[in-house]
Amino acid sequence: MVYDVVIIGGGPAGLTAGIYARRAMLQTLLLERMGIGGQIIVTDLVENFPGFPEISGADLAAKFEQHALKFGLETKNMVDVTGIEDKGKTKIVKTTDGDIETKTVIIASGTTPKKLGAKGELQFTGKGVSYCATCDGFFFRDKTVVVVGGGDSAITEAIYLTKMAKKVYIVHRRDKLRAEKINQEHAFANPKISFVWDSVIEEIVGKQVVEKAIIRNVKTKELSEIKTDGVFIYVGLIPNTGFADVEKDEGGFIVPYPGQATSVKGIFVAGDCRVTPLRQITTAVGDGAIAAVSAERYIEGL
């Protein structure tokens, strides 16, 4: 069988593409290497998706999935895409579950959190070092944690952690935050949060689990330490695009062309894995809709 559309990634971008593709009556298959829902599954609270002033990420993901299934989207999870072979009018999507032939591909594979690169980070991952406050915050009730980063993810997750931790230090390498102003205001007003500016984590230290973080001030080069039970890291994103042989920027993000096209005809891109000034649910769903409509028009012209 030859699909009309194969969507890679079951986050907001991929599921929206699925809704639009199915409503256009296209034979569509969505492939997801984990559970359907994408990154928002592990987001505690979403406050900026229109129509939902306050909703948990997991609930929003479940609504996206139900919505896509209502229109008959075929999904397969626990299937990892490893490559795409361009055969002109069709593409072969290579997966851990075999090859799949399709007329178009929509890459909506998102990103993975970047590692800090500090000494001790790998050794203590799962033993105090985490990249997901929603998953692991529970273990830090009445404890002290360090959050590393200055963007929206770092700040919203730090605020979330104040619900259970007794103290949250935000270590940021600059002297101001990149996060949305409203998130900044909430963090500055939170009595449990203290900021450590112009600083990076030099080393994470402990015996069995994290016991302290060694901090280096990037201006004075001075070293200091914070006694902490956990280190939550939000220092950037790596795109999940290694399987795709299309034009990318130096960071591996896919270069989008008008209509969410890529440098290869018949392959489209949507969401966080593309070059974009904003990585949010709203932007991901917009991309997904455009990519699906572009795929439909491309198929009509084949």
Ligand X SMILES: Cc1cc2nc3c(=O)[nH]c(=O)nc-3n(C[C@H](O)[C@H](O)[C@H](O)COP(=O)(O)OP(=O)(O)OC[C@H]3O[C@@H](n4cnc5c(N)ncnc54)[C@H](O)[C@@H]3O)c2cc1C
Residues taking part in catalysis: 132, 135-136
Nearest to 179 by CA among 161, 156, 195: 156
Identify the helix (H) or strand (E) that includes residue 148.
strand 144-148
With beta carbons less than 8 A apart as the criterion, state whether 222 and 256 touch: no
Closer residue to ligand X, CB minimum distance, 43 or 199: 43
User: What is the rounded distance in angstroms from the CA atom of residue 159 to the CA atom of residue 152?
Assistant: 11
Question: Applying CB under 6 A, which part among 32-40, 68-76, 180-188, 193-201 lies near ligand X?
Answer: 32-40
Q: Does 279 help bind ligand X (rule: CB under 6 A)? A: yes
Closer residue to ligand X, CB minimum distance, 81 or 212: 81
User: What is the rounded distance in angstroms from the CA atom of residue 298 to the CA atom of residue 261?
Assistant: 10
Q: Both tokens of residue 147? A: 């959050």
Binds ligand X (CB under 6 A): choice among 199, 228, 240, 260: 240
Binds ligand X (CB under 6 A): choice among 111, 162, 199, 262: 111
Instruction: Report helix, strand or coil for 76.
Output: strand
Binds ligand X (CB under 6 A): choice among 272, 291, 293, 298: 272
Q: Does 149 help bind ligand X (rule: CB under 6 A)? A: no
Closer residue to ligand X, CB minimum distance, 37 or 206: 37
User: What is the rounded distance in angstroms from the CA atom of residue 247 to the CA atom of residue 241?
Assistant: 10
The rounded Cα 105 to chain-centroid distance in angstroms is: 20
Closest separation in Å from C-beta 291 to ligand X: 11
Q: List interacting residues with ligand X (CB under 6 A).
A: 8-14, 31-34, 38-40, 43, 46, 48-49, 80-81, 108-111, 153, 156-157, 240, 243, 271-272, 279-282, 284
